[in-house]
């Protein structure tokens, strides 16, 4: 697994979202944000997530989608419950995943972060394969982007407290750290 010259993960299925733009400083990739997503909540299909990130979601398809009308969001990566990886935005571009956010005194986390969505919810346990794949992805990103480091891996709830709760109580941070060899 590696990041190619187009800032794409070579093993990821490329989906290409329009919900991105140029970073103000392309060399400043210094934060990794872990999210979760499930549309509708608890559903294991990926088609609605693809549609949301690619501006094709029919908001009349499910009653819970009404608040997603005209929402333009994306993430760099999505790791499905089966471990498959989809990439929507190249890492050198700014994906629209963090919203109103700040970390370590810096606002606008989208400017300097990579967003990784895990298919799931705050309360449902993530799959072992998701942790293994996430760990492998994080190791690759830490090697490829020198301003990233293990202490710069956060959950969405840490950069948008009170507004976001993901990846939630079901996410095992210790498990992730063991995958990237930070815990013995």
pLDDT tens, residue by residue, 116-134: 999 999 999 999 999 999 9
pLDDT tens digits for range 130-149: 999 999 999 999 999 999 99
Does residue 155 belong to any structural domain of this protein?
A: yes
Residue positions counted in the chain: 184
Question: What percent of the residues of the chain are helix, what percent strand, and what percent coil, each to the nearest 5?
Answer: 25, 20, 55
| Structural domain that includes position 113 | 13-36+76-179
Supply the residues annotated as catalytic.
Answer: 117
pLDDT tens digits for range 163-174: 999 999 999 999
Predicted confidence band of residue 33 (pLDDT cuts 50, 70, 90):
very high
Does residue 8 belong to any structural domain of this protein?
A: no
Predicted confidence band of residue 184 (pLDDT cuts 50, 70, 90):
very low
Total structural domains within the chain: 1
Does residue 163 belong to any structural domain of this protein?
A: yes
Burial class (CB in 10 A: 0-12, 13-18, 19+), 143: exposed
Give 146's contacts (C-beta < 8 A, 6+ positions apart).
Answer: none
d(CA 28, CA 180): 22
Does residue 31 belong to any structural domain of this protein?
A: yes
Does residue 118 belong to any structural domain of this protein?
A: yes
Does residue 97 belong to any structural domain of this protein?
A: yes
CATH number at residue 151: 3.40.80.10
Does residue 104 belong to any structural domain of this protein?
A: yes
Does residue 143 belong to any structural domain of this protein?
A: yes
């Amino acid at each position: 697994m590696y990041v190619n010259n187009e800032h794409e993960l070579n093993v990821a299925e490329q989906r290409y979202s329009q919900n991105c733009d140029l970073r103000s400083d392309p060399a400043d990739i210094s934060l990794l944000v872990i999210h979760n997503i499930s549309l509708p909540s608890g559903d294991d299909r990926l088609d609605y997530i693809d549609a949301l990130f690619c501006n094709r979601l029919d908001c009349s398809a499910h009653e819970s989608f009404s608040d997603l009308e005209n929402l333009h969001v994306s993430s760099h990566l999505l790791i499905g419950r089966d471990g498959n990886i989809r990439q929507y935005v190249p890492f050198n571009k700014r994906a629209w995943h963090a919203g109103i956010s700040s970390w370590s005194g810096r606002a606008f986390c989208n400017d300097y972060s990579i967003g990784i969505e895990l298919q799931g919810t705050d309360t449902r346990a993530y799959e072992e394969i998701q942790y293994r794949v996430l760990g492998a992805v994080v190791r690759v990103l830490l090697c490829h982007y020198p301003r990233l480091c293990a202490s710069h891996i956060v959950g969405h709830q840490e950069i948008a407290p009170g507004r976001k709760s993901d990846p939630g109580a079901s996410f095992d941070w210790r498990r992730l750290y063991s995958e990237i060899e930070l815990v013995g």
